[in-house]
Amino acid sequence: MNRKIFIVAVVSLLLDQITKILIGIFFTLDERIVLIKNFFSLHFIENYGAAWSILNNKVDFLIIISLVAIFIIYRFMYNFKQNSRNNIAFGLILGGIVGNLIDRVFLGYVRDFLSFKLFSYHYPIFNLSDTFIVIGVFLLIIAIIKGEDKHAEV
C-alpha cells in the first residue's frame, strides 16, 4: 500500500476512535447536547445497523461486507492515478471502513454522535468514519470524472 494512503488511513482511524472514546466518556447513551439550535447537536447512540439503520442487528453480515469492501478498495486503488487527492480519498475510505469495523467487531454496534437537522429533515446520526467514507467517495468520483481511474497506457 502506498505510504501516503496508509498515513491518511491511520490518522482518520485514530481521529474516529478518539472521538468515539471521548463521546463514550463524556456522554451517556442517548444524551444530546445542542450546539447550534435547530441545526447541529451531539447525540450519542448505538447503531446496530448500517446507514439509516438498514440491516439492523445484522452485525456479522456487516462485518463481512466491511472486509469485502476493504479488499475491493485495496484492489481498486492500484487502478487509479497516484496523486494527492486520490491518496487522500483511498486513505479516508479505508480509515472510515476500519473505524466502523472495529466498533462492530469489539462492541457489536457502531457509536454514532453527529446529529444534523436541515429545515424539517433530521439527518440520521453518524460519526467521523461515515464522514471520511463520504468525503473519500466524493473525491474518487472527481477522479473518475477526470479520467484518473485507469492507468495511462504506455
Cα–Cα distance for residue pair 153/12, rounded to 1 Å: 33
Task: Tell me the catalytic residues.
Answer: 112, 130
What is the C-alpha to C-alpha distance for residues 77 and 89, in angstroms, rounded to an integer? 9
pLDDT of residue 148: 82
What is the band of 151 on the pLDDT scale with cuts at 50, 70, 90?
low
Please provide the size of the chain in residues.
154
List residues bridging with 32 in a β-sheet.
43
What does the pLDDT look like over 45-104, one tens digit per residue? 999 988 777 888 889 999 999 999 999 999 888 888 889 999 999 999 999 999 999 999
Residue given cell 487509479 in the structure block:
80
Write out pLDDT tens, residues 23-45.
Answer: 999 999 999 999 999 999 999 99
Cβ pair 98, 130 in contact under 8 A:
no
C-alpha cell at 99: 473505524
